[in-house]
Structure 1
Amino acid sequence: MGNRLEGKVAIVTGGGSGIGEAICKKFAKEGAKVVVAGFSEDPVEEVTREIQEEGGTAIPFTGDLSLLANAQGCVELAVKQYGKLDILINNAGTFPETNLLSDFSEEAFDYLLKNNIRTAFVMSKAALPELQKTKGNIICAGSESGALGIAQNAPYGGTKGFMHAFAKGLAAEQAQKGVRCNVVAPGPIDTGWTHKETGPMDEQMEQMVTQGTLMGRRGTPEEVANAYLFVASDEASYVTGAIFPVDGGTLIAKGPAGDMAAQNMKQQPKGELSLQHSKDSHTSVRK
């Protein structure tokens, strides 16, 4: 167990699987008390139990966090259980469909707006009064697609572009209240979203996401969680309004750069977290 977040209380939305699971477990290992928040269909209870079994401190919260009443309930639970709130991780999101815009369903678009944008809005709104008391911080889940756009999922990239601008706006207005706000922007990560068996990508898209990185591979959820750990910690006390890419060089890659990556670059690091739900894709499908 580390101590970089010792004494801190964090809410992680979408905490039951994928990158969210890794953030919850990384934060708990570093001393944070974690509220693992997500849909009732997500393995929120399992992640909470696994953290506790490893000696960490966590409680679950299940509900639709795009509803203000539920967002307020999640914040109230954190304060009731742990006395305060220091960190909000707006990680929850969805990747429901890949399609040309002419064929992209309105249902999927509305689902993106609800889960990728509205949830971050209402959770931030609910959390800010408590974060202002603790001089805490918010980290939003961005994406390389929020900077570059993404073919066959223009609406998804659009929601992430919103998150980038939203976080910068919050940083600008909340500095006077002592609250930092930043973005961690992953590229292709080894979760259920980027495998054809568990998400909306086909085989060609799977190949393209690895070819499009300088390192020729998907990142791991733990590699993303490492960035969240730094940005959330007091070590990043002079960082606000920033976007941290964790994308294997996607933003500067040209053509199928991944094919030319050195073999050591293509090897995923082993990591230290026991991640049981990295391929779960409960929040990648419409409900």
Structure 2
Amino acid sequence: MKNRLEGKVAIVTGGGTGIGEAICKKFAQEGARVVVAGFPEDPVDDVVKEIQKEGGEAIAYNGDISKEVNAKECVELAVKEYGQLDILINNAGVFPEVNMLQDYTEEALDYMIKNNIKSAFAMSKAALPELHKTKGNIVSAGSEAGVIGIAQNAPYGGTKGFIHAFMKGLAVEQSQFGVRVNVVGPGPIDTAWTHKSTGPMDKKMVKTMKVATPMGRRGSPEEVANVYCFLASDEASYVTGALYMVDGGITVTKGPVGEEADSSMKKQPKGDLDLEHSKEGHTSIRNK
């Protein structure tokens, strides 16, 4: 089924790399016009060109959307270019450090609050007046860490727990304006974050992550984007205040069950999206 987002306009924050790139390309494939938002150093312009090459419509927004002035500017760009805003995807976030709490740096905490929490707050606040007009919806990035916590990165799980509660509250208060609000909770996904060479995880954490997942593997960015697409579409018209886990079952597991997964589960599906930046998006602290 294609064109589930035909006629819709979407902003995707953190849209240049990882899951964000997959969401942008999935939405464009389904007929949406997409504003790909990210930091100036992110490959947002590349993603826009790749979408356009495939016949889709997209424009870039470069800026720090945790600042309310930039969030407002991003929304204004969408409306100026496409005439409306139907969907806000709060995907932007960072995973800068792995440490026991006694060694965790205040700099990393501040960086996560800025990019995991303030970005979703600023973008949601800026987008709501336009979403009221279109009876649109918001889908935000939670995490399995926001449900069960995560050792050696407890503050990260805390930021995602905030997103879960924040979006459920918005779902209740914004229903009077016809706006749906939901959360996607990825587990271990095959991006830069979950590889020792490109993210903060060490070898032991990478191994534990896979064996603790009942499906015995990382998920693909496209598998996550598929759930975002459903929640953003009219097919999810009776879904609001929900947290959809896309985690291979890790939040309900006990022990190394991934070692026993059937071989059919251990192989990622091939997918349809041409993802060029799924292993980019290193989130070491930037001086911005």
Q: When the two structures are superposed, what TM-score results if normalisation uses the length of structure 1?
A: 0.99
Query: Aligned pair 1:108/2:108, yes or no?
Result: yes
Partner in structure 2 of residue 29 of structure 1: 29
Query: Deviation of residue 135 (structure 1)?
Result: 0.2
**How far is the alpha carbon of 1:252 from its aligned partner?**
1.0
- Whole-Å separation in 2 of the counterparts to 1:12 and 1:5: 14
CA distance in structure 2 between the aligned counterparts of 1:122 and 1:76, rounded to whole angstroms: 13
Find the aligned partners of 2:269 and 2:210 in 1 and give their Cα distance.
Answer: 16
Structure 2 CA distance, aligned partners of 1:63 and 1:30?
26
TM-score, with structure 2 as normaliser: 0.99
**In 2, Cα distance between equivalents of 1:132 and 1:100:** 43
Q: What's the secondary structure of 1:286's corresponding residue? A: coil
Distance 2:138 2:162 in 1: 15
The answer to whether 1:195 aligns with 2:227 is no
Partner of 2:60: 60
Q: Within the alignment, does 1:126 sit opposite 2:126 as a pair? A: yes
Mark the runs of 5 or more structure 2 residues left unpaired by the alignment: none
1:208 paired with 2:200, answer no
Question: Which residue of structure 1 aligns with residue 48 of structure 2?
Answer: 48
Instruction: Give the whole-Å Cα distance in 2 for the aligned partners of 1:235 and 1:155.
Output: 35
Give the equivalent residue in structure 1 for 2:180: 180
Q: Deviations over 1:36-66 (max 9, x none)?
A: 0000010000000000001100000000001
Q: SS at the partner of 2:198?
A: coil
Q: Aligned partner of 1:16: which letter?
A: G
Query: Match for residue 286 of structure 1?
Result: 285
Question: What is the CA–CA distance in structure 2 between the aligned matches of 1:133 and 1:204, rounded to whole Å?
Answer: 49
Q: How many residues align?
A: 286
Deviation >3 Å, runs of 4+: none
Following the alignment from structure 1 to structure 2, what is the Cα–Cα distance between the partners of residues 208 and 86? 39
Give 1:281 shift: 2.1
RMSD over aligned Cα, in angstroms? 0.7
Residues in 1 aligned to 2:28 and 2:39: alpha-carbon distance in whole angstroms? 20
Aligned residue number for residue 139 of structure 1: 139
Whole-Å Cα distance in 2 between the matches of residues 224 and 210 of structure 1? 17
1:187-223 C-alpha deviation (Å, 9 max, x unpaired): 0000000000000000000001111110000000000
Distance 1:209 1:56 in 2: 36
Partners of 1:199 and 1:281 within 8 A in 2? no
| Secondary structure of the corresponding residue to residue 139 of structure 1 | strand
Task: Report if aligned partners of 1:3, 1:31 keep a CA contact under 8 Å in 2.
Answer: yes
SS in 1 for 2:123: helix
Mapped partners of 1:123, 1:211: distance in 2: 36
State how 1:128-167 maps to structure 2 within 5 Å. Answer: 128-167=128-167
What is the one-letter code of the residue matched to 1:139?
V
Contact map agreement 1:37 1:44 (CA 8 A) in 2 = yes
One-letter amino acid of the structure 1 residue matched with residue 192 of structure 2: G
Q: Which residue in the other structure is 2:2 paired with? A: 2
Look up the match of 1:96: 96
SS at match of 2:37: strand
Q: Secondary structure at the match of 2:169?
A: helix
Q: Distance in 1 between matches of 2:11 and 2:24?
A: 9
Distance in 2 between the 1:281 and 1:123 partners?
A: 20
Q: Report SS of the residue matched to 1:60.
A: strand
1-structure distance, mates of 2:256, 2:145: 17
Q: 1:231 maps to what in 2?
A: 231
Alpha-carbon shift at residue 2 of structure 1 (Å):
2.2
The answer for the alignment partner of 1:169 in structure 2 is 169
The one-letter code sitting in structure 1 at the alignment partner of 2:134 is T
Unaligned 5+ segments in structure 1 are none
Identity %: 70
Residue 219 (structure 1) aligns with: 219
Distance 2:156 2:141 in 1: 12
Return the alpha-carbon distance in structure 2 between the equivalents of residues 83 and 51 of structure 1.
20
Structure 2: distance between partners of 1:227 and 1:138 = 13
Q: AA paired with 2:39?
A: F
| SS of corresponding position for 1:69 | helix
Alpha-carbon offset, residue 285 of structure 1: 1.2
